[in-house]
Amino acid sequence: MSSATDSSATDRSATDRGVITGVLTGGAGDGRGDNRGGAAARTATGSRAAKRPGPAAERRRELGWPQYARGQFLLSWRVFWRNRRSTFIGFLLPVLLNLVVAAPLRDKEIGGVNAAAYSTVGFIGFALVTSFINLLNGVVARRDDLVLKRLRGTEVPATAIFAGQFGAAGAVVLLQVLLLGGLSVGWFGAPLPADPLLFALTLVAGYLLFAVLAVALSGLTRSAEAAPMVATPVLLVCMFGSGVVAPLSSMPHWLQGPAHNLPLAPVVETLRTAWFGRPFGAETWSGGALARIDLLHGWQHAAGSLLLVAAWTAGAAVLGRRLFRWEPRHG
């Protein structure tokens, strides 16, 4: 842009702003924003002198919680796809692993279902963990870069800031579920989910658990560089100790008890129960097919796992209240 245009933009911003906005930032969403800003801008610049607490202030359009959350959602969404690391870990990793690890199992069976489809549900669960890592990195980076502090200095309530960030990461998970699920049905010959409601509920509950855990553990993470030190153990335990690919029964016996009680295991188990309509949890490679169960028995089977997820979430929330910080530690 020439410097002549630049100086005119500075001097005549009030009168020519429509044109200049068009030239400058004619990106998505700009037209919408301009219409909204128009009336307020006229009060703001045209008659700034008349800025009294009275009519001018009332004419201003005041946003509410849904708009705050929406703005935060779109911001987080854009930043997620702009950042290569988050796109890779948060989006591509579960999908790639599914192709590499689950696909070769498609000639095997476990518990009466296709082993590749079985593992795919495991990777859907695993996507919650990558989204956890992603949120942990995101929260720590935002805190250390003082973005959280800046956001908190605006009118946006803290709940909307979190809702936007959780929402964006959740939308990524949803995208992965559709992709992995479609792959499983289309390629591995998996049936459609037997109990979509239980599946969705478990997914949401599991997502919330890991999202809250990410916020809680951000408080233990001193810096963005230290984030892998917190994230990697969680990732490894969830990858290999929660029945993502192989059933828990193939682990050493003494490890199975603790593994069943880790946060991801009950989520994966219940997702499988909901998808295949069979009571997963004690399946083995050599064991026979699990009996089909109806919806009611599916929920009964899932109740214990869901309670365990709720307990983990509550624990994480308590921890989060104690540990979460808006600003980096001084010094």
Half-sphere exposure (Cβ direction) of 8: Cα atoms closer than 13 Å: 12
What does the buried/exposed string (b/e) look like for 125-148 if buried means 16 or more CB atoms within 10 Å of the residue's CB? bbbbbbbbbbbbbbbbbbbbeebb
Residues 141-180 that bind another protein (CB under 8 A): 142, 144-147, 149-150, 152-157, 160
Name which position in 75, 185, 237, 310 contacts another protein (CB under 8 A): 75
Residue span binding another protein (CB under 8 A) among the ranges 47-55, 167-175, 212-220, 298-306: 47-55
Give the separation between CA 84 and CA 97, rounded to whole angstroms. 18
Name which position in 31, 33, 196, 288 contacts another protein (CB under 8 A): 33
Please work out the total of residues on this chain that contact another protein, with binding judged by CB under 8 A.
62
Give the separation between CA 78 and CA 73, rounded to whole angstroms. 9
Shortest separation between residue 23's beta carbon and another protein, angstroms? 8
Taking the least distance from each CB to another protein, the nearer of 24 and 92 is 24
Shortest separation between residue 190's beta carbon and another protein, angstroms? 37
Residue span binding another protein (CB under 8 A) among the ranges 32-40, 112-120, 221-229, 310-318: 32-40
Mask 212-251, x = binds another protein (CB under 8 A)? ----------------------------------------
Q: Could you give the residue ranges of the DSSP H alpha helices within the chain?
A: 3-11, 13-25, 30-41, 55-59, 65-82, 84-86, 93-97, 115-144, 147-152, 158-186, 196-218, 227-241, 253-260, 264-276, 295-323
The burial class, CB within 10 Å (0-12 / 13-18 / 19+), for 50 is exposed
Taking the least distance from each CB to another protein, the nearer of 163 and 239 is 163
- Sign of the alpha-carbon dihedral angle for 239, 264, 167, 204: positive
Is residue 58 involved in binding another protein (CB under 8 A)?
A: no
User: Which H or E run includes 222?
Assistant: none
Sequence-separated (6 or more) residues with CB below 8 Å from residue 204: none
By CB under 8 A, name the binding residues for another protein: 1, 3, 6, 9-11, 13-14, 17-18, 20-21, 24-25, 27, 29-30, 33-34, 36-38, 40-41, 43-45, 48-49, 51-53, 57, 60-63, 67-68, 70-72, 74-75, 78-79, 82-83, 142, 144-147, 149-150, 152-157, 160
